[in-house]
Amino acid sequence: MLNKKRGRESAEIDGSSLADIAFLLLIFFLVVTTIDVDTGIGLVLPPIPDDVEPPPVRERNLMNILVNAQGMVLINEQPAAVASVRERVKEFIDNNGADPNLSESPDDAIVSIKTDRRTPYNVYIDMLDEVMGAYAELRHQESMDRFGVPFSSLEQGSERRAEVQEAYPKKISIAEPDEG
């Protein structure tokens, strides 16, 4: 009778070491984990042109931004400060035909970015950041007007988000680099 009871008790697995093992593994994974979220500026490159001529674009619908080898930003051949790019791009896109030198509608507006072989990368990124910022502000404004909520709170892939994106499509063109 006594023997039997003792036998049953010893059949239980001692669980205290389990926590130790789990802790060890936990510490291992804690050390090797790098939770780095990938962040960056997304862009879609233009495909290699076939022999088909690209559709003609009226000059007013095209905004040329050039970053030259000295890291200077030129908008339509006029030097401009990097910090002013955002306002200029916003004006250009959201013109809706008011100024004859700026775009006819946000849908027609194309921002063309050109670089030189010796353009410093960080200036290019700063400039691209400003252009993206212009689009982000316009979309935010549009979203507030239409739905009363910020653009960032519209769900990914939702109809409302698509509608706002449709109103201000990102038409950024990477110009063909010059030879040499």
Q: Return d(Cα 171, Cα 164) in angstroms, integer.
A: 14
Among 7, 47, 54, 55, binds other proteins (CB under 8 A): 47
Show the site string, 73-112: x = touches other proteins by CB under 8 A, - = not: ----------------------------------------
Among 43, 98, 144, 149, binds other proteins (CB under 8 A): 43
Of residues 109 through 128, those in contact with other proteins by CB under 8 A are 115-122, 124-126, 128
Please count the residues of this chain forming the interface with other proteins, following the rule CB under 8 A: 44
Q: What does the CA dihedral 123, 62, 101, 59 come to, rounded to 10 degrees?
A: 140
Answer yes or no whether residue 23 interacts with other proteins by CB under 8 A: yes
- For strands 78-80 and 73-75, give the pairing: antiparallel
Stretch of 21-29, 57-65, 73-81, 141-149 lying at the interface with other proteins (CB under 8 A): 21-29
- Among candidate residues 98, 102, 99, the one with its CA nearest the CA of residue 63: 102
List Cα–Cα distances, 123 to 20, 33, 54, 92, 168, in angstroms. Answer: 52, 33, 29, 21, 25
- The nearer residue to other proteins, 2 or 41, going by C-beta atoms, is 41
- The nearer residue to other proteins, 2 or 45, going by C-beta atoms, is 45
Q: Return d(Cα 18, Cα 12) in angstroms, integer.
A: 14
- Among candidate residues 49, 38, 43, 60, the one with its CA nearest the CA of residue 127: 43
Q: Contact residues for other proteins (CB under 8 A)?
A: 15, 18-19, 22-23, 25-26, 29-30, 32-35, 37-48, 67, 115-122, 124-126, 128-129, 132-133, 136, 174, 177
